[in-house]
Amino acid sequence: MEHAAHHLAPLATQSVSFLWLIPLFPLLGAFINAALGVRLQRKFGKGLVHSISIGAMVLSFMVACGAFVLMLNYDPEHRFLQDTLWNIFTVGKVQVDLGFALDPLSMMMTLIITFIGTLIHVFSTGYMADEPSYWRFFAYLNLFVFSMLLLVMGDNFVLMFFGWEGVGLCSYLLIAFWYTDSQKAAAGMKAFVVNRFGDFGFILGLFLLFWALGGAWHKGADGKLTYVEEAPKPTAIHAVAEHAEEAAEHEAAEHATLDIKIGPTLNFRELRDEIVITSTGMAEKLKSQTIFGIGILALVGILLFVGAMGKSAQLPLHVWLPDAMAGPTPVSALIHAATMVTAGVYMVARLSFIFALSPTAMGWVAFIGALTALFAASIGFFQYDIKKVLAYSTVSQLGFMFIGVGVGAYWAGAYHLLTHAFFKATLFLGSGSVILGCHHEQDMRKMGGLGKLMPATKWTYLAACWAIAGFPWASGFYSKDEILWKAFSQDGLAFPLLGMTPHLGQLIYIMGIIAATGTSFYMFRSYYMTFTGEYRGGDAGHGHGHGHVPHESPLSITLVLATLAIGAVLAAVIGIPMAWTGRAPLLEQWLEPALPAVVRFAEYAHSTEFLFQAIGVSAGVIGWVFARALYKDNKSQVPAQLLARWKGVWTVVYNKYYVDEIYQGTVVRGSISLARVLSWFDKTIVDGIVNLAGAITRVVANIDGAIDHYLVDGAVNFIAGSTLSAGRILRRVQTGRIQTYLYGALVGAIAIVLLNFLIK
Partner 1 sequence: MGHLTLNHFLVVSALLFGFGMLAVVTRRNAVAVLMGIELILNAANLNLVAFGRYVSGGITGQVFGLFVIVLAAAEAAVGLAIILAIYQMGRNIDASQATTLKQ
Residues that bind partner 1 (CB under 8 A): 734-740, 742-743, 746
Report the nearest approach of partner 1 to the CB of residue 738 (Å): 7
Residues 6+ apart with CB under 8 A from 500: 359, 492, 493, 494
**Any residues with CB less than 8 A from the CB of 435 and at least 6 apart, and which?**
329, 386, 387, 441, 442
The residue among 223 and 736 lying less far from partner 1, judged by its C-beta, is: 736
Task: Output DSSP code: residue 232.
Answer: P
Closest to partner 1 by CB, 547 or 736: 736
Residue type, 555: L
Question: Is the Cβ of residue 657 or residue 743 nearer to partner 1 in the bound state?
Answer: 743
Nearby residues of 29 by Cβ (< 8 Å), 6 or more positions away: 52, 53, 55, 56, 57, 138, 139, 142
Q: Looking at residue 585, what DSSP letter applies?
A: -
Select 540 or 733, whichever has its Cβ closest to partner 1: 733
Nearer to partner 1, 655 or 735 (CB): 735
Determine the Cα–Cα distance for residues 172 and 227; give it in Å rounded to an integer.
42
Angle at 353 between CA 350 and CA 358, to 5 degrees: 120
How many Cβ atoms from other residues are within 10 Å of residue 740's Cβ? 13
- Cβ distance to partner 1 smaller for residue 180 or 734: 734
Backbone angles phi, psi at 533, to 5 degrees: 80, -150
- Shortest distance in whole angstroms from residue 726 CB to partner 1: 17
> Exposed (0-12), middle (13-18) or buried (19+): which is 340, by Cβ within 10 Å?
buried
Q: Which is nearer to partner 1, 232 or 736 (CB)?
A: 736
Q: Which is nearer to partner 1, 644 or 738 (CB)?
A: 738
CB of 737 to partner 1, least distance (A): 6
HEC string of 236-277?
Answer: EEEECCCCHHHHHHCCCCCCEEEEECCCCCCEHHHHHHHHHC
For every residue of 309-370, DSSP letters joined together read HHHTT-TTS-THHHHGGGS-HHHHHIIIIISGGGHHHHHHHHTHHHHTT-HHHHHHHHHHHH
Q: Min. distance of Cβ 754 from partner 1 in angstroms?
A: 14
Please report how close the Cβ of residue 740 comes to partner 1 at its closest, in angstroms. 8
- CB of 709: closest distance to partner 1 in angstroms? 36
Q: Which is nearer to partner 1, 637 or 739 (CB)?
A: 739
Q: Which residues, in sequence order, are bridge partners of residue 102?
A: 81
Nearest to 464 by CA among 514, 512, 413, 429: 429
Q: How far is the CB of 699 from partner 1 (least distance, A)?
A: 52
Question: Please, which residue, 602 or 746, has the CB nearer to partner 1?
Answer: 746
Residue 736 has what DSSP assignment?
A: S
Name the DSSP class of 78. Answer: G
In whole angstroms, give the CA distance from residue 18 to residue 20. 5
CB of 743 to partner 1, least distance (A): 4
**Cβ 731 to partner 1 shortest distance, Å:** 9
Least distance to partner 1, CB of residue 760, Å: 21
Closest C-alpha among 322, 310, 462 to residue 394: 322
Strand-pairing partners, residue 84, are 99
